[in-house]
Amino acid sequence: MRFSATAAQALLFPALVMMTMSSHMQAQTPQASADTIHGRDHIRLPLPPEAEKTPVVDDYFGTKITDDYRWLEDAKSPETREWLDQEIAYTDRYLKQAKVRPEIADKLDSLIHVTSWSTPIQRGDSYFFMKRLSDEEQPSIYMRHGWTPPAHPKAKETNADLGRDVRLIDPAKLSRDPNTSVSLLNVTEDGTMMVYGIRQGGADEEEIHFLTIASRKTLDDTLPAARYNSVEISPDKSGVYYARFTPHKGSLLYFHKFNTRNSEDVLLFGREFRGEPLGEMDQIGARVTDDGRYLVVIVSRGVPAKRVDIVYRDLHQPESPFNILVWGIDSRFSAMYASGDWYVRTDYQAPNGKILKAMPGGVAPEAWTTIVPEGSDVIDGSSIVGNKLFVHRLKDVKSESTVYTLAGKAIGELPYAGIGDASGMSGNSKDRYGFYSFQSLIQPPTIYRYDTQTGKQEVFAQPKTPFDTSEYELKQVFYKSKDGTHVPMFIAGRKGLKIDGSERLLMTGYGGFNSSETPAWSPLWAAWMEQGGWFALPNLRGGGEYGENWHKQAMFEKKQNVFDDFFAAGEYLIANKYTSPMHFALSGRSNGGLLMGASITQRPDLFGAIWCGFPLLDMLRYQKFLIGRLWTSEYGSAENEKGFDYIRKYSPYQNVKPGTPYPAIMFFTGDSDTRVDPLHARKMAALMQNLQQPGQPDSGAKARPILLHYSLKSGHSAGVSAAQLIDDYADQLSFLWTETGSK
């Protein structure tokens, strides 16, 4: 057993431990009392479970680094599981004392248990989409034939399903586990077959199934649970093209012929192309053009991709070799195909993006025709629907969309209601209608159908969320980072909130992987604002908000810029009296969990409470686990000397300092995270909790709670039940709200 028996017993039998150890406790200083850890709102905890130190020393280019908790990297060992049981009990003990939790859970329940929809896929007169009814735990897959019910009652006699939402796949009938979910992956162009996935909990892997729409029968053919980059039924419906990623090996594109064994699947693309090896860092995906003519293969080099290659095969000649659209250029390319022509969105010689009409056959992009030139605002997405080109831009992180002819003439814009986040236009290149959604931090999402011929738009779906947008305000400010860079930030909250430093404020951030953090709706943030706190979202470097240059300013040895941008946002909010350090809460997950770790170790004075979810924290070893190797294209690696030099400086796990008064912290992860290994949170929690043990410089009456919330269901991906989500969110917000109170 690798944790302190005394600490473990104190969790389960505190009275017994106090009686049997009373003489020993009296001989100790007050730090060692069972009531050492002081949460706000009168929450009291004993000492946390003490994990045994078992030092392992690594030599990095002559520098010795000691890791005391390497044994916690093994999630399945009896010692780790026993320690986790104690951690779960310890966190539960805290949450049972959080008086505000029932109130927050009720708010979350009302915001999450509403009927909700996904953007539909239109096939002819039929629409396929996900929908979860307000009293359900998981979305189901539905089909609707016809836009609305017919006006004349007799018109429905010929088709009982006309205009009605028909449930095709119900996850509740697949498993008794409410954390089993389904996903709508694709529908054939004629609307006769559908591809769907089944996922367990929040894992990345899913099992692939195929449904015949007319009979409502699922084929016997399945693809086993794995990470699939793409799955598409062939135009003749004889089989399926699928690209599967295997950790430490890479991606391969296969064709599976229906009614044959999976072992007979044919490898179509992977391992090498024209003498160039393809490895783990090369993510392969595929799709079929809307007209069914071409199989398009996309090879993304790294995560995020620094280079994207595109090749295609004429399916009218299935044995023909793959032709090159673009290959070997260190830029990103995204292909669109319409009316026999290729169009490409790229950042090649255009960091903010541009749209070109491409010439296949390996012709250099310099010879292609410019359709939409680069502008001052970054192009965030593009699509061709109804033979019109829709270009989505971020103007200071606010959505704008312009409609063009395929020759590049601007012919209109999509009307958005103020500051918010719009999706790109989705639809078929030859169909009349497309679909998009619009939302904001204070406005739940609405899905619209857009008529590409008239410009008319109608509401497809709008959840009846009990959140009164008119009672809240959303604004954008700009502040200066440490090096003088101007950084935008969204601030939202209930109208009339005080700006005198006394209010609670919750800030989140990400800053990485070219991912733009737009002001999108979240019931989590909405519940915090309903509770009475400010919410802030700074747009840190490392994201894609201002194009590739913005991204590159926080990669590799420049990663510290992300943290400096985040701390400067905190300083701005405090200086302008939105909050104060005591009332300042942080929340971040994944790469944002790394940001939380840096906030813990670099600026513990600035914040009162931190929720650190699914985090990367031991950056010297992250690349060794699960799919971590893919992210070396963003962070670099300590396996080379240059990478070690800059990563060691910010890696949270190696920068915890005894004697530092840290804020209250909740680490959140669980067994279902198959993307970021939970070992990061386990090791960091053990390390920081050790500082609160008797005799440590950071122990004492003022020590704040440090918790490990370890879920057996929740993971990195979507898929947990609404009830599980409400529980997890309630734990998160009740902790942050409690620990940013005045006492």
Section 293-311 average pLDDT? 96
Q: pLDDT tens digits for 675-708? A: 999 999 999 999 999 999 887 765 444 689 999 9
Of 126-140, 327-341, 589-603, 698-712, the poorest mean pLDDT is in 698-712
**Main-chain dihedrals φ then ψ at residue 244, nearest 5 degrees:** -120, 135
Residue 317 buriedness (CB in 10 A; 0-12 / 13-18 / 19+):
exposed
User: Is 201:715 a contact under the CB 8 Å cutoff?
Assistant: yes
> Regarding predicted confidence, which is higher, 148 or 506?
506
The pLDDT of residue 686: 98
Q: pLDDT tens digits for 137-187? A: 999 999 999 987 555 454 455 566 678 999 999 999 999 999 999 999 999
Residue 671 Cα distances to 155, 201, 203, 678, angstroms? 52, 10, 9, 7
Instruction: List, edge to edge, every strand of the sheet that includes 443-451.
Output: 421-422, 433-440, 443-451, 457-461
Q: pLDDT tens digits for 39-81? A: 999 999 999 999 999 999 999 999 999 999 999 999 999 999 9
The pLDDT of residue 161: 67
The pLDDT of residue 12: 31
Residue 67 and residue 70: Cα distance in Å, rounded?
A: 6
Reported confidence tier of residue 418, pLDDT bands at 50, 70, 90: confident
The pLDDT of residue 10: 35
Please state the separation of Cα 397 from the chain's center in Å: 18
Q: What's the first-to-final CA gap in the chain, in angstroms?
A: 37
**Residue 274 half-sphere exposure toward CB, CA atoms < 13 A:** 9
What percentage of the chain reaches a pLDDT higher than 90? 88
The pLDDT of residue 599: 98
Contacts of 246 by beta carbon, 8 Å cutoff, 6+ apart: 226, 227, 252
**Main-chain dihedrals φ then ψ at residue 422, nearest 5 degrees:** -110, 145
Section 89-105 average pLDDT? 98
Section 197-205 average pLDDT? 92
The pLDDT of residue 23: 29
Q: pLDDT tens digits for 13-31? A: 333 333 333 322 322 333 4
Nearest by Cα to 122 from 454, 405, 386 = 386
Single-letter code of the amino acid located at 49: P
User: Is 554:541 a contact under the CB 8 Å cutoff?
Assistant: yes
Of 428-442, 676-690, 714-728, the poorest mean pLDDT is in 714-728
Residue 731 and residue 743: Cα distance in Å, rounded?
A: 19
Structure token digits, residue 253: 């594109």
Q: Is the pLDDT of residue 5 over 80?
A: no
Residue 649 buriedness (CB in 10 A; 0-12 / 13-18 / 19+):
middle
Q: pLDDT tens digits for 445-454? A: 999 999 999 9
Contacts of 518 by beta carbon, 8 Å cutoff, 6+ apart: 394, 397, 399, 421
Contacts of 302 by beta carbon, 8 Å cutoff, 6+ apart: 281, 630, 632, 633, 634
The pLDDT of residue 162: 73
Just list the catalytic residues. 590, 716
Q: Is the pLDDT of residue 3 over 50?
A: no
Residue 688 Cα distances to 220, 585, 609, 653, 654, angstroms? 51, 19, 14, 9, 11
Section 210-217 average pLDDT? 97
The pLDDT of residue 658: 94
Planar angle of CA 258, 264, 268, nearest 5 degrees: 90
Section 659-686 average pLDDT? 96
Q: Is the pLDDT of residue 336 over 50?
A: yes
Instruction: List, edge to edge, every strand of the sheet that includes 333-338.
Output: 333-338, 341-346, 354-358, 369-372
Section 438-466 average pLDDT? 97
Determine the number of helices (DSSP H) and then strands (DSSP E) in the chain. 13, 43
Q: pLDDT tens digits for 543-558? A: 999 999 999 999 999 9
Calculate Rg over the CA atoms of the chain.
27
The pLDDT of residue 201: 87
The pLDDT of residue 149: 57
The pLDDT of residue 11: 32
Q: pLDDT tens digits for 619-659? A: 999 999 999 999 999 999 999 999 999 999 999 999 999 99
Section 346-359 average pLDDT? 97
Residue 389 buriedness (CB in 10 A; 0-12 / 13-18 / 19+):
buried
Q: Is the pLDDT of residue 9 over 70?
A: no
Section 565-569 average pLDDT? 98
Reported confidence tier of residue 90, pLDDT bands at 50, 70, 90: very high
Of 231-235, 306-310, 359-363, 468-472, the poorest mean pLDDT is in 359-363
Section 337-343 average pLDDT? 96
Contacts of 454 by beta carbon, 8 Å cutoff, 6+ apart: none
Residue 267 buriedness (CB in 10 A; 0-12 / 13-18 / 19+):
exposed
Query: Coil, strand or helix: which one is 429?
Result: coil
The pLDDT of residue 16: 30
Strands (E), 518-663: 534-538, 584-589, 609-613
Reported confidence tier of residue 743, pLDDT bands at 50, 70, 90: confident
